[in-house]
Structure 1
Amino acid sequence: MSEQFELVAEVRSDVGKGASRRLRRLEDKVPAIIYGGGQEPQNIVLEHRTVSKALKNTAIYSHILHVVVDGKKHKVVLKALQRHPFKPVIMHMDFLRVTGNEKLHMNVPLHFANEATSPGVMDGGIVSHNMHHVEIICKPADLPEFIEVDLGTLEMHGVLHLSQLTLPKGVELVAHQHGDDPAVASIHMPRVSKADIEAETPVVEVLAEGEAAPVAESTPPVAE
């Protein structure tokens, strides 16, 4: 993984909902917690501006991060992120410690490749993405930034299932452990709306019974 993420935090001794609200409103900071790894949970606080900037890079969600607390560097992954329902405010963050070769359960994004050149799209079909993330299990050293979904051979009306993905070394799918094999993507013909059908249907004038068809007007011949 080429990306490197490091966040600087402070120990937070004042906990509780009221304290968290004060941090967000008065100090523009984000309350968070570091837990796991056989150690006691640690309440911390981060600068909201710094966190917001870091989160603009979507790779942060599937990378090992370093959170520096009072000069001590913690190796973690972001496990939960709580946002305000309608304000651009980060409410809380959960970080899980990464220790040794202990396997991680993570959600990583799917990146779709070769859509435009797939046989189904070349024949006029459109792609439906049934999944955008997938839950995996792997050791920290094997954590991928994303998993590629190659649609280069998908035909019209074809469906690509989870079992057909090429996984990086050391990566397992949680769904497979439960015997699930959901559809990841499919290609189908575009839907035709009723309005489109009506627009393309020629209008035929039906005459009432006994009504003569109109005769085209003609110019009478000029007598010589």
Structure 2
Amino acid sequence: MPDVGDLVTARLDVSPADGTTAAVLVVTLPDGSILTPVVTGTETGAVWTAPVVYTMAGLWRLSWTVTGTGASVQHEVVSVAPAPPVTGTGRVYATTTQLAEYLGAAAPLDAVRLLTDASRALDDALKTARYTVDVDGLPTEPAVAAAFAEAVCAIVQWWDETGDPVGADGGWDSVSAGPVSLSRGSGSATAAPIAGGQLPPRAWAALQRVPGFHLTWWVGSGW
């Protein structure tokens, strides 16, 4: 599958073909705009080529129209992938370098997407949290920022180990971690709800290491 930015040579083989054969290429972009690349053919009209630069992600349609001997219309749909990102968008609490250091191994090729998803999942778990942020919504307290980075790396590792971001059990009711305070309800003490599932124990432990942290769990129907 080509990526955004790739330059390819579109090719059409025509048979039968002779000196009367001619071909044109119309390219329809994902946004509906049209390109008509310059087409070059052999003297016999058997092979036709045209350069195409994929400038956006999505489905591209390449439509060849052949006239003369071998007259026909042929369509090809090409799926173009976005250029692989090296940084996330929105609030992302850890870098790929931090993830690699946490894992003690090379970061996966989809690390940016995983860290972005994990950061959103952490946001879901901390909807009632209170902490100081900058204009981008990132924590300004160094201890909180470090804990969030470790937590999202732990979430990514959890997803890799379990293949399941949902989890099975657990919950918490009230927590404070230095400048962070949050509350939610019931379950066991093994994990906390996150994105419809659970906050992995290692992610939760990262939050617990924030100076001044203390935690009260629900156990069954009591504290």
TM-score, scaled relative to structure 1: 0.22
The structure with more radius of gyration? 1
Higher strand share: 1
